[in-house]
Structure 1
Amino acid sequence: MQQLTGLDAAFLALETTNSTGHVGGVCVLDPSEAPRPLDLALLTEVLGQRLPLVPVMRRKLLEVPLGLDQPYWVDDADFDIEYHIREVALPGPGSMAQLTEQLARLHARPLDRRRPLWETYLITGLADGLVAVYTKVHHAAIDGVSGAELLTVLLDLKPEGRKLPPAKEFVPAKPPNPVTLMARVAARLAWRPVQTVQLAGEFVRKVPTLAPLVSPLVGEMLGLNRGDGSVIPTTLGLAPSTPFNKKITPHRRVAFRSVSLADVKTVKNAFGTSVNDVVMGMCAGALRKWLTDHEALPSSPLNAMIPVSVRDEAAKGKMGNRVSAMLAVLPTNLDDPEQRLSVVHEATKVAKSQQATIPQGLVDDISDFAPPALTARVARVAFATGMMHRLPPFNICISNVPGPNVPVYLAGARLLAQYPMSVILDGQGLNITLVGYLGELHFGLVACRELVPDIENLATYLVDELNLLLKAAAAR
């Protein structure tokens, strides 16, 4: 039995009738040289062998009565792997458009909280004999880095696989009885006054270090940051309104693109930036073009939220969330690609210095202190009043997740590409996540269908922006 942290449980509270709390990814595979045909039976066999290495995959949620404390992961006594692994076949010709449409439907469906919070789909019928494996796992169980670590458990370095230690028979541990559970809750509640004093003292000590992060926003709200316009802003103002910062529906659109990491590094080296700066510059240019198409380009830059892993050596190999975030300006208001990249570079330096001032444990302590009943109530009020889309704290989440650097295989089939698929919420109707693998960056875009119906155009604009930056780099 393992208790969720407050941050883990917060992802449960974010689920509504229109938003889900899981993250996912699709592996596009070439099974032509696999030792055995990749079918549902083989995939079930391979994943079944790896489950002992990832205990949370056989655990379900145990809610604490009245939401007085964070829930627990407990062994599922009725675990059935065949429920979690399914097969879908695309009709001919098995195009990428058909694949993304099917994935949009699968990604929109919530996970069953009565069971372990994951599902895997084998998708056959793709053109050229390819297959795809789509997996979704609730964000309460993993973050981006632990998701990447989970993938390394499922993938192999050779088509033949690897030798695994003998698996012990799965004997689910009995969940605690109600009396034991309430005794745990009572002990935690008894400690709450002491925890309140400790948390308040910690917060007071850290307030000066948070000032650089808060002051730009406060200054903007009070109208104190009005310059003469001669200096390009690299500090945050209020997030401007865009078509994708509105209330979402249950429907999704998905788009994928891959670009050469060597091309991105060519731009990076020419302009003295980082790979992530180039990615942010690509996103700024693509979003500017899309917003212009829709006659919705704000005069001020967008605000981007960039998840940051704070997973240390002690947390490696463990599930759950170890994340912080930094906010950075996304200069969609500038029409020159080089200038956009320059501003992104300076803005991320500012964001990194501000993010570094946030104590790693402070967010965890605050989120863990609030009981789930209160967290859920606050979330319901925020969604019901429209706060999330009327006053969005940022416009878009852009996440860069590390991936394997060598050829890898799943059930004997060679991995060609892995496209991530993340979460959207009211006020955050568009998400861009990318994964690096074998010399390429694979972008996965997820959006509300009604807010961004032409997400394919936006994905194409990412590639167009990289080409513009390559031309600028060549000119240099």
Structure 2
Amino acid sequence: MVDRVRLRDLAFLAEETPEAPQHNATIEIFDPGDDQLDHARLVELICDRIAFVPRYRQRLQSVPGHLANPVWVDDEKFDVGFHVRRSALPRPGTSAQLLELVSRIVSRPLDRTRPLWEMYFVEGLEGGKVALLYKTHQALVDGVHTLDLGQLLLDPKPEPRELDPDDWSPRRSPNPAQLLTHAVRENLTDPASLLDTVRTGSRALARTADRRSQRARSFMSAATGRRPKSGGVLAGPLSQQRRIVAVQTQLVDYRRIRDAHGGTINDVILATITGALRAWLMTRAESLGGLRQVRALVPVSVIDEELEATSLGSQIAPHFVDLPVGEPSAVVRLHQVSYSFQAHKDTGRSVAANRIAGIAGFAPTTFHAIGSRLAAAELRRGYQISVTNVPGPQAPLYAAGARMLASYPVPPLLPGHPLAIGVTSYDGGVYYGITADRDWIPDADLLGVCLREAIDELLDLSSATRQRAPRGRRGPTPKR
């Protein structure tokens, strides 16, 4: 029995282009302690845990004549040293230098002849810190059959968990004749399999025609010197290069704002992003240009039996919210965002943030991967930006005894969407990861500055609200 690539996963492979590589990434910063975490120890840790995610030792193999979707097969030449790479910054490496390195790495597509993931161990950071950069294809992590490897490497205590030795040996890959036989048999006996094959072929033809049309438009634009039309800075063509921005804030600040104005931490984070987008757009030549709202896709956790089940205990559904960037009042923006999410809460399907944060391991890496898959599936719904906010554990986690200090998501960009934002809360911090197209949005660093200013603005207003409140008056009941 062959392990055939599902149609949904195949779409991420088929729609990938050099301008839109379909992989997620995560940056994690560690204090290595007394040299507890080095490259050799990381390789050893991965070898101990990779048995829990068999897909990470499998590669794609196509079927002759494309009579069926490709299959997953064990990589008989699997080399963990190829996938876990060592890099270094000139000491003492700054955050800006690290982000520049990350920007270059995430701009490159993964090698499809090998298992679809890479990890980089980056040394030389200031203060003796080290960084891990995970890079995993969206076709690999679906949250159903495969979790993100990053979820499995971290432990709640400095002492790593003791696991049974992994005695894995690759299964022999089927030869072309066997693949062809399986494909013909499935097409004859399984109508669903035949339908998938037909759909795959039809989509391939449509994508080929679309790419040729795009190339023709690009050629004409270059020949005439005209810039392609777009819907503003939040919509435009992608280049093959990315710019990554990381912003660290404190969870206690969001709690103070929530306690002063009501709502949830998620509402405050989205209001902060709204304020940052407003300030950033106003610094640009086009200003707001009459733009009053930015349509955002925000994946949310729900309990819904009609949706595909995940191994994380909930389903993920799209929630569309109009971020009121045209509203000058930060408090009004917060209330408008809270109102948008109230309908979702009233359905009774929503999953509490503390439940998500309590999932074993470091689940945010898997949730971000699922959120990116959802954003790609909903691309035709007409949103302008995707924002994936995932609450993580509020206690320290460790890799090979080294304490993780920070975790920044690096979401992928989708065609026509040159900006995406991911947010992870962990151990008292809230970490923003901004992915921007380097050519279309050269001032992405400024958006990071605007994020800090937006949270400061809400904090100042919250302090003023508390000072005006009568003595003895109790604030809103805190919510996560």
For residues 208-264 of structure 1, give each alpha carbon's deviation from its aligned partner in whole angstroms, at most 9, with x where no partner exists. Answer: xxxxxxxxxxxxxxxxxxxxxxxxxxxxxxxx9221310010111111111111211
Aligned to 1:455: 444
What is the aligned counterpart of 1:329 among 306, 322, 327? 322
Distance 1:195 1:80 in 2: 35
**1:272 partner letter:** G
Once the two structures are aligned, what percentage of the paired residues are identical?
Answer: 36
Gapped runs of 5+ residues in structure 2? Answer: 196-229, 351-375, 466-480
**1:94 partner letter:** G
> Does the C-alpha gap of structure 1 residues 179 and 119 become closer, same or farther in structure 2, counting only changes over 3 Å?
same
Per the TM alignment, residue 151 of structure 1 is displaced from its structure 2 partner at its CA by 2.4
Give the number of the structure with larger relative contact order, counting CA–CA contacts within 8 Å between residues 6 or more apart.
1
**1:342 partner letter:** H
**Bigger mean CA offset, 103-112 vs 90-99:** 90-99
Aligned to 1:266: 256
**Structure 1 residue 275 and structure 2 residue 276: aligned?**
no
For residues 162-208 of structure 1, give each alpha carbon's deviation from its aligned partner in whole angstroms, at most 9, with x where no partner exists. Answer: 2112222x221123343443444345545437998xxxxxxxxxxxx
> Does the C-alpha gap of structure 1 residues 156 and 97 become closer, same or farther in structure 2, counting only changes over 3 Å?
same
> Does the C-alpha gap of structure 1 residues 453 and 355 become closer, same or farther in structure 2, counting only changes over 3 Å?
farther
TM-score between both structures, scaled by the size of structure 2: 0.75
**Structure 1 residue 302 and structure 2 residue 294: aligned?**
yes
Helix, strand or coil at the partner of 2:422: strand
Distance 1:425 1:126 in 2: 31
Aligned to 1:401: 390
**Structure 1 residue 6 and structure 2 residue 7: aligned?**
yes
Per the TM alignment, residue 325 of structure 1 is displaced from its structure 2 partner at its CA by 1.9
**1:288 partner letter:** R
Aligned to 1:292: 282
Does the 8 Å contact 1:325/1:355 carry over to 2?
no
Distance 1:67 1:76 in 2: 21
Helix, strand or coil at the partner of 1:90: strand
Aligned to 1:174: 172
**2:428 partner letter:** G
Does the 8 Å contact 2:186/2:193 carry over to 1?
no
Does the 8 Å contact 1:28/1:132 carry over to 2?
yes
Aligned to 2:71: 72
Helix, strand or coil at the partner of 2:93: coil
**Structure 1 residue 32 and structure 2 residue 22: aligned?**
no
**1:306 partner letter:** V
**Structure 1 residue 315 and structure 2 residue 310: aligned?**
yes
> Does the C-alpha gap of structure 1 residues 460 and 91 become closer, same or farther in structure 2, counting only changes over 3 Å?
same
Distance 2:63 2:302 in 1: 28
Distance 1:267 1:22 in 2: 34
Distance 1:398 1:157 in 2: 28
Distance 2:463 2:312 in 1: 42
For residues 371-391 of structure 1, give each alpha carbon's deviation from its aligned partner in whole angstroms, at most 9, with x where no partner exists. Answer: xxxxxxxxxxx9xxxxx8xx9
Aligned to 2:415: 426
What is the aligned counterpart of 1:250 among 234, 240, 265? 240
Distance 1:56 1:352 in 2: 35
> Does the C-alpha gap of structure 1 residues 2 and 325 become closer, same or farther in structure 2, counting only changes over 3 Å?
farther
Per the TM alignment, residue 60 of structure 1 is displaced from its structure 2 partner at its CA by 0.8
For residues 431-476 of structure 1, give each alpha carbon's deviation from its aligned partner in whole angstroms, at most 9, with x where no partner exists. Answer: 1001111111111111101122122211121121112112222233
Per the TM alignment, residue 153 of structure 1 is displaced from its structure 2 partner at its CA by 1.2
For residues 5-40 of structure 1, give each alpha carbon's deviation from its aligned partner in whole angstroms, at most 9, with x where no partner exists. Answer: 322222212311211111011110111245x3x322
Aligned runs of 1:62-461 on 2, under 5 Å?
62-143=61-142, 150-168=149-167, 170-190=168-188, 191-192=190-191, 241-294=231-284, 295-297=286-288, 298-309=290-301, 315-316=310-311, 323-350=316-343, 393-461=382-450
Does the 8 Å contact 1:402/1:435 carry over to 2?
yes
Per the TM alignment, residue 332 of structure 1 is displaced from its structure 2 partner at its CA by 0.9
- CA RMSD in angstroms, aligned pairs only: 3.1
Aligned to 2:206: none
Does the 8 Å contact 2:309/2:315 carry over to 1?
no
Per the TM alignment, residue 146 of structure 1 is displaced from its structure 2 partner at its CA by 8.8
Does the 8 Å contact 2:257/2:458 carry over to 1?
yes
Distance 1:331 1:27 in 2: 32
Distance 2:5 2:182 in 1: 14
Distance 2:427 2:147 in 1: 14
Does the 8 Å contact 1:21/1:139 carry over to 2?
yes
Distance 1:475 1:145 in 2: 47
**1:430 partner letter:** L
Aligned to 1:468: 457
For residues 329-354 of structure 1, give each alpha carbon's deviation from its aligned partner in whole angstroms, at most 9, with x where no partner exists. Answer: 11111111111111112223346779
**2:296 partner letter:** A
Aligned to 1:234: none
Helix, strand or coil at the partner of 2:152: helix
Gapped runs of 5+ residues in structure 1? Answer: 197-239, 358-381, 383-387
**1:101 partner letter:** E
**1:58 partner letter:** R
> Does the C-alpha gap of structure 1 residues 185 and 417 become closer, same or farther in structure 2, counting only changes over 3 Å?
same
Distance 2:347 2:104 in 1: 38
